[in-house]
């Protein structure tokens, strides 16, 4: 019987204290080769602190972190395998984009021609002008140069902290495509993000952290099941009354206010049953809004807590 593969990244009982303040408390995570793992939570939850501990920029107060099976994360050979994009990236703005990428690329012991070829493609895909100084870059262009620097040496593991921050919607689509291609080539991604659409399209699993404590880890399908969508329906008075009644007995639906010709309800679960119900009516308008990350997080947290209470009661 073959042994289970060693996780690319593994955190066991990881905690971080800053004086009396607990930034991260007893976090356990295991990231498998070839998956895209999302690390989610509100601002100040401990995401960036956890990433800094993974990179050994900050030492844990307790617990162990293994990367590629090793606890020594300061070796040059290990850093050859990693690409990193910081959420608060600092770049020497006197350099041009090309000069900065030359500098970053010089530390990697890889095939130079191959790296340059991939770098050129990334620059073209992201529509980045690397001939001008970074001081002239917008927030989005600085993010682009950081993405190129993280990806161009084709690392085995990408660690991304809010990777699409500052990118316009078109470039967000390009980013998603590049990450999907990277994973298809065998790469592994650990990323924090505030973009729900990005998480749902990219990630295989997600972890939730709140006030430094890990709430849980879920497959993205489980997350989608837990997600609560807000639905606003506009229809005639008779249609609206009948729809409100039928929606009230639909699993996952909670009927809210009716105002004039509008009915508001919330819905969780797979979307097909709701669409099947709505298709029976002549609607004047329909809006289905995906929840904000914070809403999904709190729904998952409450569900997780209620299940824990049932087990312990």
State the pLDDT confidence band at 309, using cuts at 50, 70 and 90: very low
Residues 4 and 77 in one domain: yes
Name beta bridge partners: 160: 85, 191
For residues 33-41, average pLDDT: 93
Which residues is 157 bridged to in the sheet? 82, 188
81 phi-psi bin (left φ>0, alpha ψ -120 to 50, beta other): alpha
Residue after which a domain boundary falls, among 168, 188, 219: 219
Most confident of 4-8, 169-173, 194-198, 304-308: 169-173
Does residue 301 carry a pLDDT above 70?
Answer: no
Same domain, 124 and 254: no
* Amino acid 313: pLDDT: 39
Average pLDDT over residues 222-234: 78
pLDDT exceeds 70 at position 60:
yes
pLDDT the model gives residue 83: 95
Among residues 219, 243, 274, the one where a domain terminates is: 219
Query: Is the pLDDT reported for residue 141 higher than 60?
Result: yes
22 and 59: one domain?
Answer: yes
What is the predicted pLDDT for the residue at 38? 94
Residues 132 and 279 in one domain: no
What is the pLDDT of the chain when averaged over all its residues? 87
Side-by-side strand order, sheet with 157-161: 62-67, 9-18, 21-31, 213-219, 205-210, 36-40, 188-192, 157-161, 82-85
Least confident of 78-87, 152-161, 289-298: 289-298
Last residue of a domain, one of 130, 150, 170: 150
Q: How far apart are CA 255 and CA 263, in angstroms?
A: 8
Residue 10 has pLDDT above 90, yes or no: yes
Cβ neighbors of 119 (< 8 A, separation 6 or more) are: 101, 105, 148, 152
Query: pLDDT band for position 151 (50/70/90)?
Result: very high
**Number of domains comprising the chain:** 3
Q: What global pTM score does this model have?
A: 0.79
**Is the pLDDT confidence value at 312 over 60?**
no
């Amino acid at each position: 019987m073959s042994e289970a593969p060693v996780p690319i990244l593994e955190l066991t009982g990881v905690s971080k204290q800053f004086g009396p303040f607990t930034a991260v408390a007893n976090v356990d995570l295991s990231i498998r080769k070839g998956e895209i793992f999302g690390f989610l939570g509100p601002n100040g939850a401990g995401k960036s602190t956890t990433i800094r501990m993974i990179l050994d920029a900050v030492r844990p107060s307790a617990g162990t972190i293994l990367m590629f099976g090793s606890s020594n994360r300061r070796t040059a050979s290990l850093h050859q395998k990693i690409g990193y994009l910081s959420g608060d990236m600092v770049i020497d703005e006197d350099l041009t984009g090309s000069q900065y990428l030359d500098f970053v690329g010089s530390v990697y012991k890889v095939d130079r021609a191959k790296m340059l070829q991939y770098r050129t493609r990334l620059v073209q895909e992201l529509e980045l002008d690397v001939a001008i100084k970074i001081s002239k870059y917008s927030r989005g262009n600085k993010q682009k140069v950081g993405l190129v620097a993280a990806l161009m040496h084709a690392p085995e593991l990408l660690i991304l902290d809010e990777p699409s921050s500052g990118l316009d919607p078109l470039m967000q689509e390009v980013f998603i495509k590049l990450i999907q291609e990277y994973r298809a080539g065998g790469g592994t991604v650990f990323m924090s993000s505030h973009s729900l659409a990005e998480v749902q399209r990219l990630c295989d699993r997600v972890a939730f952290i709140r006030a430094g404590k890990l709430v849980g880890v879920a497959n993205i399908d489980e997350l989608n099941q837990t997600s609560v969508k807000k639905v606003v329906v506009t229809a005639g008075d008779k249609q609206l009354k009948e729809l409100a009644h039928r929606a009230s007995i639909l699993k996952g639906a909670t009927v809210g206010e009716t105002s004039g010709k509008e009915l508001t309800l919330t819905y969780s679960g797979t979307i097909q049953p709701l669409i099947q119900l709505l298709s029976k009516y002549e609607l004047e308008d329909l809006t289905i809004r995906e929840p904000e990350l914070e809403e999904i997080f709190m729904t998952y947290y409450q569900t997780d807590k209620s299940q824990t209470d049932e087990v312990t009661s």
